[in-house]
Chains A and B, each alone.
Chain A
Amino acid sequence: MAAPMAFRRQLCYSARIFRGISHLVPRASGSCSGRSRYDSAKCSLPLTSSTSFHSASIFFSPPSPITVTEEPDTLFQKISVLVKGHDRAVLDSYEFFATMAAKELGITISKVSEPKKDIERLTLLKSVHIFKKHRVQYEMRTHYRCIELSCLTGCTAQVYLEYIQRNLPEGIAMEVKKIAMEKVPDHILEPMWKDEPNQKPSQ
């Protein structure tokens, strides 16, 4: 009897996937990429019946093709994904998922490392009133996993990061450090005052 509820949840999830890639609707994730003008492949997911989303037939929106615009794509020299969690086993599974997804999408993984865990310990009084000699200790362990990818285009990075972030398990946080490469802008190519060596002192 829980089947109808699960089915509805699947519908909502698939709906978010369908709409999400074009509009980047932030779910509970805090990734805000404000570089909308570099959306070189303005995508809306085509309805393919061969995908694993079985509820695809429910949607009646017409299939729209992938549009390619003339804007230059950003180039990322390195993208470093650091995942933090309290459970090492969950991070292991997530790392397997992320590395496999990267391989399937053809992204080069330069390094997968495991930084040392952090343990934050608290020592509190055990009793509400008096008994100073009797304390209780708690600790919070944070495990890390760092996946470094190199040489990605903006579109690929967007697709991969959104896929990774939508499948981030509960209780795991992520930090994504992106290093984008840019050309020297036109106004820095040539100095403005090269021909006048002695300038009046500026204010």
Chain B
Amino acid sequence: MALLTLCRVNVCGVGLQKSVNTRLRNTAGLSLLATNGNKDLPGGRGGRGSTFRKPRREAGEPRTEKMSEDQDWTSVYTASAPFRPGSVPLPVRMGYPVKGGVPPEKKGNLELIKIPNFLHLTPSAIKKHCEALKPFCTEWPSALDTDAKCDEHFPIKVENTDYVSAGPSVRNPSARVVSVKVALSSLKLNEHARKKMIKLVGERYCKDTNVLTITTDSCPLRKQNQDYAMYLLTVLYHESWKTETWEAEKTAADTEEYSWERSPSQRNILEVLARGGGEGEGEGLREELLGRKEVQEYRDSVTRLKNQGENEATVAQYKEAVKKVLSL
């Protein structure tokens, strides 16, 4: 502690002395703080006491002169430290150059001190650190080398985010958000359960990738959100297997996909063909009409049009099918 206080005083003294010297050089007549007399009469100032200054020591040569080429750099910069021009044996220059000159040298260069340096993380230092950290790492199981295998054995993906930043608080409220993704094909669902599940979750299901995403952020802690998401998944699964009595009232408008059976389109086409043919035999004619190839093509094209929306391919296919059915 004593060393430190002395060191600080020494630094102060040096600075003050320098400023005093310059002032005396510039303004000859002014006699300022008489601290210049300090060096000459250390004993004489003993009476005043508080402004005693130690005699100034010369700064030795910088450490860079004594550094060898093959030294261990990790012992010079062991941890994150500001840039010390006397410890870094590189002729670094940084800053905006003077007009017609070069960027300022490293001695007393504030720009080099301001910028974060990575002198403590040289490749040899990183290797040493990793050697020490290796015993704490575990191997990835070799059986799970492809994505497909991972999805097969571990279909549920829990996604969460951590935030690291400097600020008044260490916590970040966005860190509590949890997202659980499941591929529906990995859950055991029959047709009815699958359709009901998709209807229950609504927006959270992506048809293209067949993935259900449940994002929770209503609880204040991440663990609570994770538990809540798993609870939601469980409830959805079990509820979708149940069949309520009011589900029998499902109309054609509620179905997810268009089905041609018992639709106005089927009725119309059969009517048209029956009238065109001329023979009215009821059931037999109906079966025969349905079995015909053109009618089946017509059915496929109408289903495709309704399910996939209107684009060039579907409309063209519908046109061809209609032409064939009505033999135009």
Contact = CB atoms under 8 A, between A and B. Distances in A.
Interface of A: 1-2, 4-6, 9-10, 13-14, 21, 26, 28-34, 40-41, 43, 45-46, 48, 50-55, 66, 73, 75, 77, 87, 89-90, 93-94, 97, 100-101, 104-106, 151-156, 158-161, 163, 165, 167-185, 187-194, 197-199, 201-202
Nearest to A106: B137
A151 B175 contact: no
A104 B127 contact: yes
Contacts of A180: 157-160
B297 to A, nearest CB: 37
17 contacts: A32-B175, A41-B138, A51-B129, A52-B132, A75-B141, A77-B147, A101-B129, A169-B80, A172-B116, A173-B164, A173-B165, A183-B155, A185-B156, A185-B234, A188-B237, A191-B188, A202-B244
Contacts of A45: 132
Contacts of A21: 136
Contacts of A167: 80, 121
Given A13-B80, A97-B126, A176-B161, 17 more contacts: A4-B4, A30-B163, A30-B175, A32-B222, A40-B138, A50-B132, A52-B129, A66-B135, A87-B115, A90-B115, A175-B162, A180-B160, A182-B157, A192-B238, A194-B241, A198-B245, A199-B244
Contacts of A66: 135-136
A202 B126 CA distance: 61
A106 B239 CA distance: 45
Contacts of A159: 133, 136-137
Interface in B83-135: 84, 115-116, 118, 121, 123, 125-135
Contacts of A10: 78-79
Interchain residue pairs A-B with the least CB separation, the first 4: A169-B116, A104-B130, A181-B154, A191-B241
Interface string B163-174: 111110111100
B158 A182 contact: yes
Contact of A29 (B10, B121, B164): B164
Nearest to B186: A184
Contacts of B171: 30, 32
B79 A184 contact: no
B237 A75 contact: no
B233 interface: yes
A177 B118 contact: no
A199 B118 contact: no
B162 A31 contact: yes
B193 interface: yes
Contact of B156 (A32, A177, A182, A192): A182
A202 B166 contact: no
B230 interface: yes
A54 B73 CA distance: 12
A176 B138 CA distance: 20
Nearest to A187: B234
B12 interface: no
B154 A182 contact: yes
B81 A97 contact: no
Contact of A179 (B74, B157, B163): B157
Contact of B243 (A153, A182, A185, A199): A199
Given A9-B81, A52-B74, A105-B130, A174 B245 contact: no
B78 A34 contact: no
Contacts of B155: 183-184
A191 B157 contact: no
A29 B123 contact: no
Nearest to A201: B244
Nearest to B3: A4
Contacts of A43: 136
B267 interface: no
